[in-house]
Copies of this chain bind each other. A is one copy, B any other.
């Protein structure tokens, strides 16, 4: 038998099932599954992702055996649907849709109504008795096929779509305003003009053979895997380009054959807040694309109960069947043709962070899933937790806005959260603006559109919030925003958007490009101007302790997820904090210690004394200045130790180059001279002497403490004295002193000896002893190389992945802007290495470091305190290579916890899978 490339589904049977997503793509696998469990699916078949791989490896051709397999499936489909592709008497129409392993909504191409020709058109008229419907369908087909398959697209950014242009011209000629006012003869003329345009541009006649049309569409769908927006999308979501898409040929059913027809999309639960309600929209007498395109604002699903009660009941039953079967929220597409319900698609519904948490928790309560499933990355991507911690608009500020007449309108709350930004009307503008200004608070963006389309995806990425005048909760804007975790309001029909004038008008209020606007994704409110925010519910309960949480509050759900994560994770989670209030926040979020306290922040608060130290030109003068800094440092540490109440506190000795503490500009230097009573020349001289060509690679880190041991001495004294003070109060204290930028064992030897001798002095003075550790950061490639040696002295390691990435890649975070965009677009780097650990490069250095360290000390405590410590994939990597803890900013603690838990579950699953495969292989022998 030849290799199977085509999988049939229809009636109540199917060749494939939902487990075969890799081969059939999500859409194909789920159509097969729905057919298997007896749901009404129009017959069809799936061309596998292997064909896509073949297609790109063989100059866009197909495997030779494909044609016969397709023909066989077409025959089965024709039999099931009782009609024939290309039959002038009884024509079968089909769609051709992409379907990748992971859903990539709207990124690839679709062709509907394939099989309509001059000949079959007559059959369709005869069959439906609806000439206008048939001609309108033909018009739509020629337009879609001409665009997608034959490539009749605008040839520049400014050109209007050629088909739209022809239609506008004809409507103008005929004095017609709306599409539905076009008569049969108008439509006939339109089709003729469309075909002529195709001929003019391509030199080819429009294909009049149904099978030829089908193969053309298949080629276009596979071809769309490599279009620009699909590539961008995959890059953002980490989908490998190698996966390929499947293509699905599906019998057409029509939601636009009359008022007993409709088409809709729905979620089995609310994807914005997670509530267990049937949530969806439909349009009567319409094709499915109309709902998603967002051009007409559709009706709520509840209305279908009134309009077509039987169909609604059937659909609601399907909703239950699907959730019980899939055990997850489903995002479905359906069409009702002459009162008959057809299911066109089901897939796991994308949801906001709020919804993800609520749905996961609810489903455990409902007994649908267990708690380990609930906290898996498919249910709650760790980053989603972040949404629950984001600020909301301040209630008072909102009231004030109402008073001042700034409350503009209310739309559909499609993506929760509060976003304030400058209006940008075009995705391209938004993208450029973001490139120019970066993520600065003063330059946040709200993308304001009539509707969005897949072309807008980069602009949406650049924006903090999306606001559309049209479209419902299932529109493109809503779907994509939810997935990106962006605040989103759609269908805000009061907004008048003029793209030419670049204005947004509501009543007599006119906002321009660049004006401030605020959108509340919880309530759907659109407010002119910049609005103040207040902390989220979780923050109010946990951090501010200003709110008592209700039983089913977001907080309670969040708390449950955190408890589950804590049950299973092995990594400890610490926080990067240098002030008691930050530390307290982190502890409230469950931090188990401080992984990085940067002492330099404390110095910036006592700049005068610090500068005195830097200007000192003798050891005595430097010591005198340090003497003044000592009580401040000690005081700061006392506060931290008290807050952390016995949890380990890792304090890093002075790290940044000294010139960071001096003013660089003439004005600042004059001021400093005046304040310190020295000459400007003296300060200029010192600034010049400290100037460095590459400060990142210069006189900083432990190099400071080695050249000026008195600095480390003062800092050690401050730490140990503070610890003694706190211990004397009866509070447990666990200081861990961390030496930065160590590359050579001897550096750590020297600094550790200094810390230890200072500690002994303090113990003698204070008449009390306590335990403390001296360890080092591993943030230079050399440190990773020499880890075994360094571990002879170090009592712990902490990976400083920021600097390790900078040095390991030879890439300065301050300077990589000039090429990183191209690097991402050209796939040189898969992800920004300063956000996600570069596993193959920096990760390998880390593995070498862990191996070396543990070779010397089997149980050496190893953590990470770079900013990667709060990024889920990096956290999982840290688990994999055997770190003891990760440390991240306070607000990332929940994210890190969940990622750490998932790391354990995923590792276990992978082991079980490997074991099963091994057992199966054994059994096969």
Q: How far is the CB of A786 from chain B (nearest CB, A)?
A: 6
Contact of B828 with A706 in the complex, beta carbons under 8 Å? yes
> A692 contacts which chain B residues (CB < 8 A)?
812, 814-815
Given contacts A696-B697, A697-B806, A699-B818, 13 further A-B contacts (CB under 8 A): A693-B812, A693-B814, A696-B696, A697-B697, A698-B818, A703-B823, A706-B823, A744-B841, A780-B810, A781-B808, A781-B809, A803-B810, A807-B808
Tell me which residues from 770 to 829 in chain A have a Cβ below 8 Å from any Cβ of chain B.
Answer: 779-782, 785-786, 789, 803, 806-812, 814-816, 818-819, 822-823, 826-829
Contact of A786 with B841 in the complex, beta carbons under 8 Å? yes
In the assembled complex, A838 has its CB within 8 A of some CB on chain B: yes
**Given that A822-B706, A845-B785 are known contacts, is A815 also in contact with B693, CB under 8 Å in the complex?**
yes
> A810 contacts which chain B residues (CB < 8 A)?
696-697, 701, 741, 743, 779-782, 803, 807
In the assembled complex, A177 has its CB within 8 A of some CB on chain B: no
Q: Give 5 CB contacts A-B under 8 Å.
A: A693-B696, A696-B812, A741-B810, A780-B810, A782-B808
In the assembled complex, A302 has its CB within 8 A of some CB on chain B: no
By beta carbon, the residue of chain B nearest A827 is: B746
In the assembled complex, A670 has its CB within 8 A of some CB on chain B: no
Q: Most chain-B CB neighbours within 10 Å: which of A694, A741, A744, A822? A: A694
Contact of A703 with B819 in the complex, beta carbons under 8 Å? yes
**Given that A809-B780, A810-B807, A814-B693 are known contacts, is A699 also in contact with B842, CB under 8 Å in the complex?**
no
Tell me which residues from 452 to 477 in chain A have a Cβ below 8 Å from any Cβ of chain B.
Answer: none
In the assembled complex, A747 has its CB within 8 A of some CB on chain B: yes
By beta carbon, the residue of chain B nearest A689 is: B818
Contact of A750 with B826 in the complex, beta carbons under 8 Å? yes
Q: Of the candidates B694, B779, B823, B841, which one forms a contact with A696 in the assembled complex, judged by CB atoms under 8 Å apart?
A: B694
What is the bound-complex CA distance between A808 and B808, given in angstroms? 7
What is the bound-complex CA distance between A596 and B31, given in angstroms? 61
In the assembled complex, A844 has its CB within 8 A of some CB on chain B: yes
What is the bound-complex CA distance between A744 and B818, given in angstroms? 17
Residue-wise, chain A 634-669 has the 8 Å CB interface mask toward B (1 for contact) of 000000000000000000000000000000000000
Q: Give the interface size class of chain A.
A: 35 or more
**Given that A744-B828, A750-B828, A828-B750 are known contacts, is A841 also in contact with B699, CB under 8 Å in the complex?**
no
Q: Most chain-B CB neighbours within 10 Å: which of A818, A822, A838? A: A818
> A695 contacts which chain B residues (CB < 8 A)?
693-694, 815
Tell me which residues from 671 to 719 in chain A have a Cβ below 8 Å from any Cβ of chain B.
Answer: 692-699, 701, 703, 706-707
Contact of B808 with A780 in the complex, beta carbons under 8 Å? yes
Contact of B812 with A697 in the complex, beta carbons under 8 Å? yes
Contact of A815 with B744 in the complex, beta carbons under 8 Å? no
What is the bound-complex CA distance between A827 and B781, given in angstroms? 20
> A779 contacts which chain B residues (CB < 8 A)?
810
Q: How far is the CB of A102 from chain B (nearest CB, A)?
A: 23
Contact of A819 with B706 in the complex, beta carbons under 8 Å? yes
Contact of A782 with B842 in the complex, beta carbons under 8 Å? yes
> A844 contacts which chain B residues (CB < 8 A)?
785-786
What is the bound-complex CA distance between A782 and B828, given in angstroms? 13
What is the bound-complex CA distance between A909 and B626, given in angstroms? 56
In the assembled complex, A840 has its CB within 8 A of some CB on chain B: yes
By beta carbon, the residue of chain B nearest A844 is: B785
> A781 contacts which chain B residues (CB < 8 A)?
781, 807-810, 841, 845
What is the bound-complex CA distance between A891 and B701, given in angstroms? 38
What is the bound-complex CA distance between A579 and B924, given in angstroms? 68
**Given that A743-B809, A810-B743, A822-B706 are known contacts, is A815 also in contact with B785, CB under 8 Å in the complex?**
no
Contact of A826 with B746 in the complex, beta carbons under 8 Å? yes
> A741 contacts which chain B residues (CB < 8 A)?
810
Tell me which residues from 377 to 410 in chain A have a Cβ below 8 Å from any Cβ of chain B.
Answer: none
> A699 contacts which chain B residues (CB < 8 A)?
815-816, 818-819
What is the bound-complex CA distance between A335 and B458, given in angstroms? 91
> A743 contacts which chain B residues (CB < 8 A)?
809-811, 841
Contact of B828 with A697 in the complex, beta carbons under 8 Å? no
**Given that A694-B814, A696-B697 are known contacts, is A840 also in contact with B706, CB under 8 Å in the complex?**
no
**Given that A706-B822, A829-B744 are known contacts, is A815 also in contact with B782, CB under 8 Å in the complex?**
no
Contact of A782 with B809 in the complex, beta carbons under 8 Å? yes
> A782 contacts which chain B residues (CB < 8 A)?
808-810, 838, 841-842
Tell me which residues from 719 to 758 in chain A have a Cβ below 8 Å from any Cβ of chain B.
Answer: 741, 743-744, 746-747, 750
> A811 contacts which chain B residues (CB < 8 A)?
697, 743
A residues bordering B, Cβ < 8 Å? Answer: 692-699, 701, 703, 706-707, 741, 743-744, 746-747, 750, 779-782, 785-786, 789, 803, 806-812, 814-816, 818-819, 822-823, 826-829, 838, 840-842, 844-845
Q: How far is the CB of A97 from chain B (nearest CB, A)?
A: 32
By beta carbon, the residue of chain B nearest A803 is: B810
What is the bound-complex CA distance between A692 and B701, given in angstroms? 21
Q: Most chain-B CB neighbours within 10 Å: which of A823, A828, A838, A840? A: A828
What is the bound-complex CA distance between A809 and B781, given in angstroms? 7
What is the bound-complex CA distance between A45 and B842, given in angstroms? 58
What is the bound-complex CA distance between A746 and B841, given in angstroms? 13
Q: How far is the CB of A128 from chain B (nearest CB, A)?
A: 54
What is the bound-complex CA distance between A746 and B779, given in angstroms? 25
Contact of A697 with B808 in the complex, beta carbons under 8 Å? no
Q: How far is the CB of A286 from chain B (nearest CB, A)?
A: 46
Q: How far is the CB of A598 from chain B (nearest CB, A)?
A: 18
Interface pairs A-B: 6 shortest CB-CB = A697-B812, A698-B815, A782-B841, A781-B781, A694-B812, A693-B814
What is the bound-complex CA distance between A814 and B699, given in angstroms? 11
What is the bound-complex CA distance between A806 and B811, given in angstroms? 12
Q: How far is the CB of A289 from chain B (nearest CB, A)?
A: 37
By beta carbon, the residue of chain B nearest A780 is: B810
What is the bound-complex CA distance between A179 and B743, given in angstroms? 56
> A840 contacts which chain B residues (CB < 8 A)?
785-786, 789
> A697 contacts which chain B residues (CB < 8 A)?
694, 696-697, 806-807, 810-812, 815
> A785 contacts which chain B residues (CB < 8 A)?
808, 840-841, 844-845
What is the bound-complex CA distance between A669 and B416, given in angstroms? 52
> A803 contacts which chain B residues (CB < 8 A)?
810
What is the bound-complex CA distance between A844 and B845, given in angstroms? 12
Q: How far is the CB of A357 from chain B (nearest CB, A)?
A: 37
What is the bound-complex CA distance between A781 and B780, given in angstroms? 10
What is the bound-complex CA distance between A544 and B451, given in angstroms? 78
Contact of B822 with A707 in the complex, beta carbons under 8 Å? yes
By beta carbon, the residue of chain B nearest A706 is: B822
> A698 contacts which chain B residues (CB < 8 A)?
812, 815-816, 818
What is the bound-complex CA distance between A807 and B783, given in angstroms? 12
By beta carbon, the residue of chain B nearest A743 is: B809
What is the bound-complex CA distance between A814 and B812, given in angstroms? 16
> A826 contacts which chain B residues (CB < 8 A)?
706, 746, 750
What is the bound-complex CA distance between A706 and B818, given in angstroms? 11
What is the bound-complex CA distance between A743 and B707, given in angstroms? 33
Q: How far is the CB of A78 from chain B (nearest CB, A)?
A: 47
> A838 contacts which chain B residues (CB < 8 A)?
782
What is the bound-complex CA distance between A698 and B816, given in angstroms? 6
What is the bound-complex CA distance between A819 and B744, given in angstroms? 14
By beta carbon, the residue of chain B nearest A779 is: B810
What is the bound-complex CA distance between A87 and B242, given in angstroms? 97
By beta carbon, the residue of chain B nearest A815 is: B698
> A812 contacts which chain B residues (CB < 8 A)?
692-694, 696-698
Q: How far is the CB of A498 from chain B (nearest CB, A)?
A: 32
What is the bound-complex CA distance between A812 and B694, given in angstroms? 6
What is the bound-complex CA distance between A811 and B838, given in angstroms? 22
Q: How far is the CB of A483 from chain B (nearest CB, A)?
A: 27
> A780 contacts which chain B residues (CB < 8 A)?
808-810
What is the bound-complex CA distance between A707 and B780, given in angstroms? 28
Q: How far is the CB of A347 from chain B (nearest CB, A)?
A: 32
What is the bound-complex CA distance between A789 and B699, given in angstroms? 34
What is the bound-complex CA distance between A844 and B827, given in angstroms? 29
What is the bound-complex CA distance between A809 and B701, given in angstroms? 12
What is the bound-complex CA distance between A218 and B295, given in angstroms? 100
> A816 contacts which chain B residues (CB < 8 A)?
698-699
What is the bound-complex CA distance between A816 and B699, given in angstroms? 7
By beta carbon, the residue of chain B nearest A744 is: B828
What is the bound-complex CA distance between A818 and B746, given in angstroms? 18
